[in-house]
Chain A
Amino acid sequence: MNAVRKSARWVLLPTLLLLQACGDDEERRKTYTVRFSPQVRQEALTCEGLYTDIGTSRSTLELLDFEMFVRDVTLVRANGERHPLKLEQDGQWQRDTIALLDFEDGTGACRTGGSAEMHREVVGSAPEHDDYTRLEFKVGLAPERNHLDYQVETRPLSHGDMWWGWQMGYKFIKLDVRTPANAAYVFHLGAVGCKGSVGEGYTCASDSQATILLEEFSPEKNQVVLDVAGLFSELDVNKAPNGTSDMMAGCMSIAGDPECPALFSQVGLSPDGSPKALPKTFFRVR
């Protein structure tokens, strides 16, 4: 890293001289950390908590698992200049422009299937400015990356929790909670209606690509809230599936699943997976 930096500096010297002649300066880069905070309204969402007044039936809820892929995390200046974070390549959670966020720590209700490892922030560098006022990012993997290959061993794509073998792709959001009537009420966001092969490439009827734009966000002062009370605000999370028109508790991005439209809406997607206006109920700023 240091050697690379020295080498880069040396190679850039003539360029810098040329730029000096033009009266310009190289932009200084700074490391920024974008923090994500899963919550239930104002309270932190953890594996040990029992949360009340969730959804239309005002149910209780416990967290079982919560993980999410984000990518192309971009800081936006007041003047509209957009600066994508160049992610720290940590060999574990962040690779290229993709970061895996893991919000469960394997304690309490997350013990079954959980692990102690957590990752609640995205770390990268961008030109240093003190007037970043908006944050933009995409939820999930780009279509060209959303191919499950059993030989992929590189983190974070090797993280089996986010595999969706049935669709030969990945889950973009995996949120599993427990309610009194449902041992697991889930929200699994992913591409649907996929066809193709590793050789030919896949096409999907819905790539489920959500872009999140948050206003009044400064990386130094603010965090992205993931408010689960907001996410489930229009649903009865304690409703058990009836086995005919509703086959599962929650949503696995299946067309015709009655819970999917309300959940897709919270991430800025229409039922068919196309973009729509993002409400400030699940994703918000604090």
Chain B
Amino acid sequence: MTRAWQVSVVVAAVAAAGCGDSGPGAPAPYVWSLPAGFPEPFVPEDNPMSEAKVELGRHLFYDVRLSGNGTMSCASCHEQSRAFSDGKVTPVGSTGDRVPRNAPGLANVAYLDTYTWANPVLETLESQALVPLFGEHPTELGLTSRLEEALGRLRADARYAELFRAAFPGEADPVSRTSIVKALASFQRTLMSGTSPYDRYLQGETSALSASARRGMELFFGERAECYHCHSGRHLSNSFRAKGMQRQPVAFFNTGLYDLNGQGAYPPQNPGLYEFTLNVLDQGRFRVPPLRNVELTAPYMHDGSIPTLEAVIDLYMAGGRNVLEGPYAGDGRRNPNKDPLVRPFELSDSEKADLIAFLKSLTDTAFLSDPRFSNPWE
């Protein structure tokens, strides 16, 4: 088994290297469907892309049989029509645990440099997958103690026998934890969203953006609102990695949402990067989310505590948030660790409307129903 696995990996790696040879059973070199102007994403060497892995991953992503108790799938918190978010403040796992952070959309996740909201050690989609599949506190899909049971359900389905064999042709026993992780990551890498009005505008279709959205774009990338300092680049996030790129220095930012003690404290269930550095200056630092389809991923912020785009803009105009009452009362505007670029600025009502129009121009309606990303079981 180990030997077969090694041979399979070697063959796949050779094929991926484009040496022109492809023996029997080697996956065909993967052909990306990249939107215009998108680079090829980073893919770890130990999990080269293949159509068969993507298709297997799609089936697994939508399958409740993948959870320990057979009640939830990845798609339960990542719905295609919401750009793969779930519309909730924070999700509830398969056994009823409240998950402390908002479920993000998955458009263009292939390009992120770190995964989840403030975890610098989850550097690939493969390592990230272990958290929802096997995490216990909170339990999300709850596979830890029920993995064999779930594998048994998958093995019992003739369709999966074909899919796993096609995706992992060299494996003696292709239905395994490792292959599930690899397939899910491969599918997620294909969730490309790049045909929004803004994308079409960048490709030269000047009429794709309304006059209002164009004015909003100027504000977004201008020195008054300064959104672009963090929401930079093609994906409107400074967390970015493409093929051939090394990992960038850690980039997490405090936007002044909270200050529980006048010294920078955030709610203990969401301390931000501090959880990994134990440096008090890193309290409240979170990774910048990409903004494509942002109109559909409400509510906002790592904890889903801001309900609308208008309210998000109000927060930034105020230079942070003053929580007047409740367990998290405190003036985030005065948080000593707040990023210096989060500072008060003024927008008129019509300018706010323009900025909203720009943010809505990031919606890729084709992505929301693209059959390549849809539930194969329906």
Interface hits, A111-135 → B, CB 8 Å: 112-115
Q: From B260, which residue of chain A is reached at the shortest CB distance? A: A244
Known: A148-B130, A245-B268. A160 touches B144 (CB 8 A): yes
Interface flag for A279 (CB, 8 Å): no
Residues of A within 8 A of B120 (CB): 195
- Bin chain A's interface residue count: 35 or more
Residue numbers in B under 8 Å from A195 (CB-CB): 120-121, 250, 276-277
Is residue A49 within 8 Å, beta carbon to beta carbon, of the partner chain? no
Q: Does residue B323 face the partner (Cβ distance < 8 Å to A)? A: no
Given known A-B contacts A150-B177, A151-B46, A245-B268, A161 and B144 have beta carbons under 8 A apart: yes
Task: Say if the beta carbon of B77 comes within 8 Å of chain A.
Answer: no
Query: Does B137 make an interface contact (CB < 8 A)?
Result: yes
Give the complex CA separation of A248 and B143 in angstroms: 21
Are B130 and A197 in contact, with the CB atoms below 8 A? no
Q: Please state if B178 and A166 are interface contacts (CB–CB under 8 Å).
A: no
**Which single residue of chain B is at the shortest CB-CB distance from A245?**
B268
Q: What is the bound-complex CA distance between A115 and B148, given in angstroms?
A: 11
Distance of A166 from chain B, by nearest CB (Å): 6
- The yes or no answer to A247 lying at the interface (CB within 8 A) is yes
A104 to chain B, nearest CB (A): 11
* A264 smallest CB distance to B (angstroms): 14
Q: How far is the CA of A188 from the CA of B177 in the complex (A)?
A: 24
- Report the separation of the CA atoms of residues A197 and B114 in the bound assembly, to the nearest whole angstrom: 11
Interface contact B275-A165, CB-CB below 8 Å? no
CB distance from B349 to the nearest CB of A (A): 37
A36 in the interface (beta carbon within 8 A) = no
What mask results when residues 112 to 137 of chain B are scored 1 for a CB within 8 Å of chain A, else 0? 00000001111100110111011101
CA distance A26 to B278 in the complex (A): 51
Residue in contact with B143 in the complex, picked from A148, A160, A194, A247, CB distance below 8 Å:
A160
B327: interface (CB < 8 Å): yes
Give every chain B residue within 8 A of A248 (Cβ-Cβ). 137
Are B327 and A114 interface neighbours, CB within 8 A? no
Contact partner of A165 (CB less than 8 A), chosen from B131, B276, B278, B328, is B131
Say yes or no: A197-B327 contact (C-beta < 8 A), given A150-B130, A160-B134.
no
Closest Cβ–Cβ distance, residue B329 to chain A (whole Å):
11
Q: Which of B122, B133, B143 meets A168, CB within 8 Å?
A: B122
Residue among B137, B143, B144 having the largest count of chain A Cβ atoms under 10 Å: B137
**B147 contacts the other chain (CB 8 A):** yes
Q: Does A69 contact B (CB under 8 A)?
A: no
Q: Is B267 an interface residue when CB atoms closer than 8 A count as contact? A: yes
Q: Which A197-224 residues have C-beta < 8 A from chain B?
A: 197-198, 202, 205-206
Q: Is B145 an interface residue (CB 8 A)?
A: yes
Known contacts A112-B145, A205-B278; A166/B46 CB under 8 A:
no
Question: A142 contacts the other chain (Cβ, under 8 Å)?
Answer: no
Cβ contact within 8 Å between A165 and B130: yes
> Are A166 and B119 closer than 8 Å at their CB atoms?
yes
Residues on A with beta carbons closer than 8 Å to the beta carbon of B177: 150, 160
Pairs of residues from A and B, 9 with the lowest C-beta to C-beta distance, nearest first? A113-B145, A165-B130, A193-B278, A205-B278, A168-B121, A160-B144, A165-B131, A150-B181, A244-B327
Interface residues of B (CB under 8 A from A): 46, 119-123, 126-127, 129-131, 133-135, 137, 143-147, 176-178, 181, 247, 250, 267-269, 271, 274-278, 327-328
Return 16 A-B CB contacts under 8 Å, by A number: A112-B145, A150-B178, A163-B144, A167-B121, A168-B122, A168-B127, A193-B275, A194-B121, A195-B276, A197-B121, A202-B121, A205-B278, A244-B268, A255-B274, A255-B275, A256-B268
A161-B144, A165-B130 are known; give 16 further A-B pairs, CB within 8 A: A112-B145, A113-B145, A148-B127, A150-B130, A151-B178, A160-B134, A160-B143, A160-B144, A160-B145, A165-B133, A165-B134, A192-B278, A205-B278, A244-B328, A248-B137, A255-B274
